[in-house]
Amino acid sequence: MFYALVFLLLGMLVVMIVLSTNPAPFYGVFNLVLVALLCCGASVLHGGTFLSLVLLMIYMGGMLVVFIYSSALSADKDPKAPTGWQVVLFFFGYFFFVFGILYTNMVLDEEVWWGVSGEMDWDAVFRGDMDGVSLMYSSGGGVLLLGAWVLLLTLLVVLELVRGLGRGALRAV
């Protein structure tokens, strides 16, 4: 299990670095999907099963739409793949940057606990993530309502931005 976790976390870091050194949005979207998968895997290994399931379903749905739109709208005939010595330079630069920050702040500082909530109490009946969802429909109803309103507002914003065909915001200038 531990090796699987190390594999997932390292993969996450590598894909994240490839994502940030990537010149084309076309491949970037694919990298985002990979990052999401690996993150959900790491979170499952820490015990956050329900959370990662929800995240995966919603994120994949959203990413598919983003992927379709970016491939349709970016109008990149031959997207650049990340190649060349600059990418290698960036790759190692980012790797040591992230690793250095993690090492100095998280490993040396032993007071800080990086884990999913409820990971240590292995005999607990309720899990943090499922508990949270049930709370959202009871005492956290206000936030649910707020979230619904924000989604409606976002819909209005998007409709207002793309309205008007040639006069709208989405057009070739």
Partner 1 sequence: MNPYITASLLFGLLLGTTITTTSTHWLIAWMGLEINTLAIIPLMAQQHHPRAIEATTKYFLTQAAAAATLLLAATTNAWMTGQWELQQATHPVPTTMITIALALKIGLAPLHTWLPEVMQGLDLTTGLILATWQKIAPFSLLLQIQPNNQTLLILLAILSMLVGGWGGLNQTQVRKILAYSSIAHLGWMVIILQFSPTLAVMTLALYIIMTSSTFLAFMMNKTTTIGTLTISWAKTPIISSLMPLILLSLGGLPPLTGFMPKWLILQELTKQDLGMTATLAALSALLSLYFYLRLSYAMTLTISPNNLTGTLPWRTQTNKKTLPTAILLSSSILLLPLTPEVLTLFNT
Cβ-based neighbours of 72, under 8 Å, separated by 6 or more:
none
Quote the longest CA-to-CA distance of the chain.
61
Least distance in angstroms from the C-beta of 124 to partner 1: 15
The region of 21-29, 45-53, 56-64, 157-165 touching partner 1 under the rule CB under 8 A is 157-165
Cβ-count burial of 97 within 10 angstroms (0-12 exposed, 13-18 middle, 19+ buried)? exposed
Pick one of 1, 75, 108, 112: the residue that binds partner 1 (CB under 8 A): 112
Does 173 sit near partner 1 (CB under 8 A)? Answer: yes
Percent helix, percent strand, percent coil in the chain, to nearest 5: 70, 0, 30
Question: Which amino acid, residue 70?
Answer: S
Does 153 sit near partner 1 (CB under 8 A)? Answer: yes
Buried/exposed code over 31-44 (b: 16+ C-beta within 10 A; e: otherwise): bbbbbbbbbbbbbb
User: Which of 92/96 has CB closer to partner 1?
Assistant: 96
Least distance in angstroms from the C-beta of 115 to partner 1: 8
Pick one of 65, 97, 120, 160: the residue that binds partner 1 (CB under 8 A): 160
Residue count at the site for partner 1 (CB under 8 A)? 21
Does 143 sit near partner 1 (CB under 8 A)? Answer: yes
What is the three-class DSSP state of 141? helix
User: Which of 3/166 has CB closer to partner 1?
Assistant: 166
Least distance in angstroms from the C-beta of 169 to partner 1: 5
Does 105 sit near partner 1 (CB under 8 A)? Answer: yes
Does 89 sit near partner 1 (CB under 8 A)? Answer: no
Does 168 sit near partner 1 (CB under 8 A)? Answer: yes
Crossing angle of the two packed helices 141-162 and 128-136, in degrees rounded to 10:
80
